[in-house]
Amino acid sequence: MTGVILDGKGVAKKIETDLSQRVAKLAARTGGKKPILATILVGDDPASATYVRMKGNACERVGMQSQKVILPQETTTEQLLAEIDNLNANPDVHGILLQHPVPPQIDERACFDRISIEKDVDGVTSHGFGRMAMGERAFGSATPAGIMRLLAHYDIPIKGKHAVVVGRSPILGKPMAFMLLNEHATVTICHSRTQNLPELVKHADIIVGAVGKPEFIRGDWIKDGAVVIDAGYNPGPVGDIELSAILERCAAYTPVPGGVGPMTIATLIAQTVEAAERAA
């Protein structure tokens, strides 16, 4: 048995084709106005700059606009909050992305939570998380929401399955667990300090690696026929799961790169278009 490749790159291209049509229709209804995603980059981290550029390129591909706000490394919490307030008040801006991480002197949670829930297209606010967890309408955190889109595209069964999420970050592991729970999976949340982690992983029908450590989850922990989602972001072409050891045994898997990453950006753009449609 060779696992089905969950081709996030290919699915993202299909999503962008649909979004291009929606953006064109929206512009026709609104006198030529297009959705705008505002991105805020604080400091000079090269990886963050690359991510922001990739998101701007995605906006261009679907006919949207991006508004870049670049702030110096020494920016304070109060200065960043003021920038977010300006974007919240701008009716032409439909989505706001604060690139993570911010410099250590900034209260990141306070700044995330300052983003208007109507413009929280990256799904980072506490308000949005709470609504999502309760099954209410909210923009989901982009990476787990992208994973859910990918699973739906490939008709991966979730209802009644045992999902194990390894990772507990507020914008990946925790929302991932609640999204799976909302789709009627039985969910176990683990992390790098979980005792007997290999035994817990062996029970997973769906395993999500989101712990941020290269190949932390070993292939021999994963049972035959599992669906393997690697959401790890690490230097080099390697995720959080030892994928090479399970390619011939799993039911399906996300490659690294080309799996989860493209779906994160596609979901961010899709949620910005949805925000613009609501505003119109």
Q: Please, are residues 144 and 176 in contact by the beta-carbon 8 Å criterion? A: yes
Q: Measured between alpha carbons, how far is residue 202 from residues 68, 137, 188, 196 in Å?
A: 44, 34, 12, 10
Pairing status of strand 227-230 against strand 252-253: parallel
Cis peptide before 237 (omega within 30 of 0): no
**Is 55 in the active site?**
yes
Q: List Cβ neighbours of 104 (8 Å cut-off, separation of 6 or more).
A: none
- 167: three-class secondary structure by DSSP: coil
**Catalytic hit among 7, 99, 120, 205:** 99
- Residue in 167, 155, 144, 181 with CA at minimum distance from that of residue 251: 155
Task: Decide if 122 is catalytic.
Answer: yes
Please tell me which residue in 55, 119, 161, 174 is annotated as part of the active site. Answer: 55
Catalytic residue among 7, 113, 120, 122: 122
Read off the DSSP letter of residue 47: H
Whether 98 and 88 have beta carbons less than 8 Å apart is answered as no
Q: Are strands 65-71 and 162-166 parallel, antiparallel or unpaired?
A: unpaired
Count of other CB atoms within 10 angstroms of residue 275: 23
Active site residues: 55, 99, 122
